[in-house]
Structure 1
Amino acid sequence: MTTSIFVNITTTDLERAKAFYSALGYSINPQFTDENAACVVLDENVYFMVLTREYFSTFSDKQVIDPKTQAQVSIALTRDSREGVDEIVAKGLAAGGTEPRPVQDLGFMYSRDLDDPDGNNLSFLFMEPAAAEMGPDAYLAEQGAGASSPSA
């Protein structure tokens, strides 16, 4: 069984959001896009449903937050290299996004945050394959860096 992931996020300007995510290199599926929503295809099993705030509110009785001032979710997406992280963040900054935090380089993992124009947070990261396999503490110990992972 294959699982697909649909992450629903809000926007105040659907056309701007479509342009932003297209600038990152993602495609828009027109079959699931209308005046209320856009289906952003990250890969064959992962999608962002970018919904107008009004439309998003029809899916929940809870208050819809403003992602510019409140955090509800942080979406982490891997890249194949540190350069890949830098490349996609540069595209996002050129397309109207902002970088809310400094680069995080933990030795075994390199990440940069990017807020889309609505304030939805994306974290792009690269993790050394050996660190993913061994765990960060064992990887850093092997590299002679000591245990300085977030769990230490």
Structure 2
Amino acid sequence: MTRMIFINLPVADLNRSIDFYEAVGAVKNPLFSDDTAACMVISDVIHVMLLTHAKWATFTDRVIPDAHHSAQVLLCVSEDSRQAVDDATARAVSAGGLADPTPTQDFGVMYGRSYADPDGHIWEVMWMDPAAAAQGAEALEPAGA
């Protein structure tokens, strides 16, 4: 069986978050969604579970950090081109996200931008030249690094 990842994110407003994730290309899976959680499918192997704060609290007693002011994780997804990176960022901004909360990275053979969702969770979007990627990390470093 192919391994999958389910990213769990606490959200303040479930419906607003569903609308946001649908606007950036995710599809809601109604089989694993209710009024406390929504399973948003990004790809066959990447799913984001949006959880109300009350639902989140059933999994852990740890405090939900305010992702607008702190970060514990940066989530990164790939795209097929530089233009697709820019398009994904633009869709996120159109849906109420914040563009580029982390620095844009442009190494020629690798390009990345980011956006924050309405709850402040940061998503990095990146493209890398397949030929350069095959050469390993050194090919992806900026000149003179």
TM-score range normalised by the length of the shorter chain: over 0.9
In structure 2, the partner of 1:51 is 51
Tell me: CA distance 1:139–1:34, structure 2 relative to 1, closer, same or farther (3 Å). closer
Structure 1 residue identity aligned to 2:68:
K
SS at match of 1:55: helix
Q: Are residues 1:72 and 2:72 paired?
A: yes
Deviation string for 1:9-56 (max 9, x for gaps)?
111000000000100121000111111111000111110001112211
TM-score scaled to structure 2, two decimals?
A: 0.92
**Structure exhibiting the larger radius of gyration computed from Cα positions:** 1
CA distance in 2 between counterparts of 1:50 and 1:138 reads 36
Deviation string for 1:66-92 (max 9, x for gaps)?
111111211000000000000011000
Structure 2 residue identity aligned to 1:44:
D
In structure 2, the partner of 1:25 is 25
SS at match of 1:122: strand
In structure 1, the partner of 2:11 is 11
TM-score scaled to structure 1, two decimals?
A: 0.88
SS at match of 2:115: strand
Deviation string for 1:103-152 (max 9, x for gaps)?
21122211111000110110000011122111232466xxxx7443xxxx
CA distance in 2 between counterparts of 1:65 and 1:105 reads 30
In structure 2, the partner of 1:104 is 105
Tell me: CA distance 1:134–1:56, structure 2 relative to 1, closer, same or farther (3 Å). same
Tell me: CA distance 1:147–1:16, structure 2 relative to 1, closer, same or farther (3 Å). same
SS at match of 2:42: strand
Q: Are residues 1:36 and 2:39 paired?
A: no
* Contact 2:110–2:140, Cα closer than 8 Å, also in 1: no
* Contact 2:92–2:115, Cα closer than 8 Å, also in 1: yes
* Contact 2:107–2:140, Cα closer than 8 Å, also in 1: no
* Contact 1:130–1:139, Cα closer than 8 Å, also in 2: no
CA distance in 1 between counterparts of 2:132 and 2:71 reads 28
Aligned CA RMSD, in angstroms, stands at 1.5
Aligned length: 144
CA distance in 1 between counterparts of 2:140 and 2:120 reads 34
Structure 2 residue identity aligned to 1:128:
D
Q: Which runs of 4+ in 1 moved over 4 A?
A: none
Structure 1 residue identity aligned to 2:88:
I
CA distance in 1 between counterparts of 2:143 and 2:86 reads 26
